Structure 1
Amino acid sequence: MRFVAPLRESLDPTVFRRPPLDAWSEFSDLLQAPAWPTIEQIGALRERVENAAKAIMPQFVEQTPGLLRDGLHYEKRIVECGQIATRTGNWHDLFNALVWLRHPAIKSALNARQIAEIAVVGAKRRTRAQCALTHFDEAGVIVRIEDPALLALWDTHDWHGLFWRERAAWSDGRIRLDLFGHALLEHALRPGQLLVGKALAIAPCADLPARLARAIRAGDALNDPQELRPLPLSDIPGWHEGNAEETFYATAPCFRARRAGRSYPLPFGAGESRNAPACAGSSGPS
């Protein structure tokens, strides 16, 4: 069933004070004002990002019938015209813009890889890499793991262990996440859903956003959807009212056993010391 976001005027404002949307409070003016932000308002923030990063970022432009008459693929318009087609009055595209503002290098890297794959197979076919790139773009979560024991629980889908027995890990810094996928942010507008992210596990690593962007652009990451681990976000302590009870972890339908033969790659940056200047497998700015 296609997700329908709530109308702006009927939205419960408390959703912005709960995870995961509370982590985007720097954009509260765009998210919580009575009226939808204009392309110009979003563009003003883009200029700040450009000045801070000292790098050119694509412009947000209103998606109109006139704009689409050029027949360009969405991804090609970004690289060839420097334009991110953005629907006004649309939660999905607003969250996409916010992720661009927070992680411009990673978003640019995803775009560059999509263009490279389109050049190989054409606009009407999709490679395994394109599926991985899209899954991460729409539902991605960047998860930094300080405690290897937590990764072992995750790899075996020991959800009770990861979310209940190690409940404290989600607040003491042993595991931290940054929700990247703009579709997940849109879904979070309706509390109570059992959201599941497509997570990229990250080992302790210096200058993470830039190095991850370089790895994606170089084809050293996100080549197959199987690189991404499922992460039931609603099971993180405090993210869903039901998970205050242990029984939630035995009954919620978002928990799935690991499929026979399913395995996961090492976390991005595994094998490097936390003070190393680069992450393993990485080869530009966030």
Structure 2
Amino acid sequence: MRYVAPAREAVDPVVFDRPPLAAWSDYDALLRGSRWPEVAMLNSLLPAGSRERFAAQTRELLDDGLHYEERIHARGDIATREANWHDLFNALAWLRYPAIKRALNAQQAAEIAHMGTRERSRPQCAMTHFDEAGVLVAMRDPALLALWDAHDWHGLFWRRRDAWLDGSIRVEVFGHALLEHALTAGKLLVGKALVFVCATEAEAAMVPSRCADGVAGGVLLRDPLELRPLPLSGVPGWHPDNGDEAFHRTTACYQPLREGRRYPPPVSCGTSLAS
């Protein structure tokens, strides 16, 4: 069933104080205010000299016949519906992660040039999944991967609950559709994760740029199977009920491992991402 975001005035303010939206508090004026931000306001937040700009999605804009990604690649125009949560979160992703968004757009445009607009390649599917529901994971303790590989969610989120609290594993939500879904209090969130093993805090801080480089170089997000499902509702503080062990044994977002499913190794922050 297609998700329908709540009306702006109907959003429970508690969602902005809980992850993942709490991590976007620097944009509170755009998210919590009673009035929708206009496209001009969003453009005012772009860095000086930015090639891209947000463009109101009007019939005149769409009459150019270009695909959404082609328009950004050719002209820098990001079609943006006003008074729309999905497109507002997309704009915020452009503001926070411009290098990743730019890399995704360049690769999408290249795939469209090769495939046309009627077919979608596996790289296009992978990039779209990440654009909509992507999560960046920085992991200091690779031993946690064994639990994740086995879909041992009780082990990953309960027996190793300490790892989520002491920084052994950290997540950043990139996908704008995932942020939109978080507007519904108590909703069970599942992201599509890229995992980076980082030895230091400095390496962990570089994960977004590592991701952008990998996408731009054509070595990341070439197949949807690169992405690991991550039930974010299990992370401490991300769902009001996950402080109870029973949650981690019965919650609907904890799916068993599909027979034959194997995940690729994580990206090492200490090695080159050469194509």
- Cross-structure match for 2:272: 280
TM-score (norm 2): 0.95
Which consecutive residues of structure 1, in runs of 5 or more, have no partner in the other structure? 273-278
SS of the residue corresponding to residue 244 of structure 1 reads coil
Post-superposition shift, 1:280? 3.1
Q: Indicate if the aligned counterparts of 2:12 and 2:185 stay in contact, CA closer than 8 A.
A: no
- Cross-structure match for 1:22: 22
Partners of 2:262 and 2:103 in 1: how far apart? 26
- Cross-structure match for 1:256: 255
SS of the residue corresponding to residue 176 of structure 1 reads strand
Write the letter of the residue equivalent to 2:163.
A
For residues 24-66 of structure 1, the C-alpha deviation after alignment (integer angstroms, 9 at most, x for no partner) is 00000011111000111111111xxx24xxx634000100111
Which consecutive residues of structure 2, in runs of 5 or more, have no partner in the other structure? none
Aligned counterpart for 1:193 among listed residues 187, 190, 204: 187
SS of the residue corresponding to residue 242 of structure 1 reads coil
- Cross-structure match for 1:6: 6
C-alpha change, 1:269 and 1:282, in structure 2 (3 Å) is farther
Q: Indicate if the aligned counterparts of 1:269 and 1:282 stay in contact, CA closer than 8 A.
A: no
Aligned residues: 270
SS of the residue corresponding to residue 106 of structure 2 reads helix
Partners of 2:129 and 2:7 in 1: how far apart? 25
Map 1:1-286; keep pairs closer than 5 Å: 1-46=1-46, 50-51=47-48, 56-204=50-198, 205=203, 207-269=206-268, 272=270, 279-282=271-274
Partners of 1:211 and 1:199 in 2: how far apart? 14
SS of the residue corresponding to residue 172 of structure 2 reads strand
Q: Indicate if the aligned counterparts of 2:136 and 2:207 stay in contact, CA closer than 8 A.
A: no
For residues 48-87 of structure 1, the C-alpha deviation after alignment (integer angstroms, 9 at most, x for no partner) is xx24xxx634000100111111111000000111110000
Post-superposition shift, 1:268? 1.5
C-alpha change, 1:94 and 1:282, in structure 2 (3 Å) is farther
Partners of 1:20 and 1:148 in 2: how far apart? 23
Partners of 1:262 and 1:241 in 2: how far apart? 31
Partners of 2:118 and 2:209 in 1: how far apart? 31
Partners of 1:201 and 1:111 in 2: how far apart? 21
Partners of 1:181 and 1:144 in 2: how far apart? 16
Post-superposition shift, 1:193? 1.3
SS of the residue corresponding to residue 197 of structure 1 reads strand
Q: Indicate if the aligned counterparts of 1:268 and 1:280 stay in contact, CA closer than 8 A.
A: no
TM-score (norm 1): 0.91
Partners of 2:93 and 2:85 in 1: how far apart? 12
Q: Indicate if the aligned counterparts of 2:192 and 2:227 stay in contact, CA closer than 8 A.
A: yes
Partners of 1:188 and 1:162 in 2: how far apart? 22
For residues 114-173 of structure 1, the C-alpha deviation after alignment (integer angstroms, 9 at most, x for no partner) is 111111111110011111000000000000000011112111111111000011111111
Q: Indicate if the aligned counterparts of 1:57 and 1:104 stay in contact, CA closer than 8 A.
A: no
Partners of 2:20 and 2:74 in 1: how far apart? 33
Partners of 1:210 and 1:74 in 2: how far apart? 24
Q: Indicate if the aligned counterparts of 2:21 and 2:179 stay in contact, CA closer than 8 A.
A: yes
Partners of 1:239 and 1:210 in 2: how far apart? 25
Q: Indicate if the aligned counterparts of 1:128 and 1:224 stay in contact, CA closer than 8 A.
A: yes
Partners of 1:59 and 1:282 in 2: how far apart? 30
Partners of 1:183 and 1:208 in 2: how far apart? 21
SS of the residue corresponding to residue 210 of structure 2 reads helix
Post-superposition shift, 1:282? 4.5
Partners of 1:184 and 1:195 in 2: how far apart? 7
* Aligned-residue RMSD, C-alpha: 1.3
Post-superposition, which runs of at least 4 consecutive aligned residues in structure 1 deviate over 4 A?
A: none
Partners of 1:2 and 1:264 in 2: how far apart? 28
